[in-house]
Amino acid sequence: MVVYKWLVWTVVDAKDAPSILIHFIDMFLFTKSSVNIYLYEGQQNVQLALVIVAVVCIPVLLLGDPICLYIQHKRKKRHSLQLNQHAENDGDNGPLLVEDPPQAESEEYEEHQKNMAKDAKAHGEEFDASEVFMHQMIHTIEYCLGCISNTASYLRLWALSLAHAQLSEVLWNMVMRIGFSNVSYVWSIVIFVIFTFFAVLTVAILLIMEGLSAFLHALRLHWVEFQNKFYTGTGYKLTPFHFDSFY
């Protein structure tokens, strides 16, 4: 949208260019500004569709994982019952009197029976839907609050840059305009001193303060706000890349 705005509205008609920030605010408030024009035809319908999709994604995020885990649990349980039924049928159809099997085959058979019993016990456990749902609900709330926090962070960055721009404008009106109020040979020395003061404050405010705040906000937004969507930090073991892993 920013690139499209740059291409459509040039410097000549920049004063009539719409504000993208106001469009985002109007999109969630379902309002229409009479002053701020749309970027393209049908933008209001696109904004409404995006908001509806975002709202619909919330129950999908909340119920999708528990339903998927429940279906997997039922499938594993049904598969375990089928294995037990086949084992019982094989035992019923087997011979009544058999010779003693070798020691190796006997140990292998006992190990196989233990594994089947362990799998049957694991698959036979009841599915705790309340625990899974509560866990997923916590993650859903955290994700939704994180999205709101991201929006507030970008608005805070915009407000901070706007405050610095207003401060530089006030600095121009209160400092340089005083220097231009009188024109004379003697006053030129005063203008030189005033410009030095104005230049120092401009560098301090616009370059140092604005640059440092933009750097810190960008670092926080990328590290905290962006990575919390996919990085949980629960202790996954780091596996460094090495070419020996391919051989």
Q: How confident is the model at residue 120 (pLDDT cuts 50, 70, 90)?
A: low
pLDDT value at residue 112:
57
pLDDT in tens, 2-40: 888 888 888 888 788 888 888 888 888 888 888 888 888
Residue 110 or 56, more confident: 56
pLDDT value at residue 204:
84
pLDDT value at residue 129:
82
Residue 225 or 67, more confident: 67
- pTM score > 0.85 for this model? no
Cβ contact 160:217 at 8 Å: yes
pLDDT in tens, 147-190: 888 777 777 777 777 787 788 788 888 877 777 777 777 778 88
pLDDT at 79 over 80: no
Buried b (16+ CB within 10 A) or exposed e, 104-125: eeeeeeeeeeeeeeeeeeebee
Distance CA 53, CA 117 (A): 46
Chain mean pLDDT for the chain = 78
Distance CA 229, CA 217 (A): 18
The pLDDT of 123-133, averaged and rounded, is: 75
pLDDT value at residue 97:
47
Q: How confident is the model at residue 113 (pLDDT cuts 50, 70, 90)?
A: low
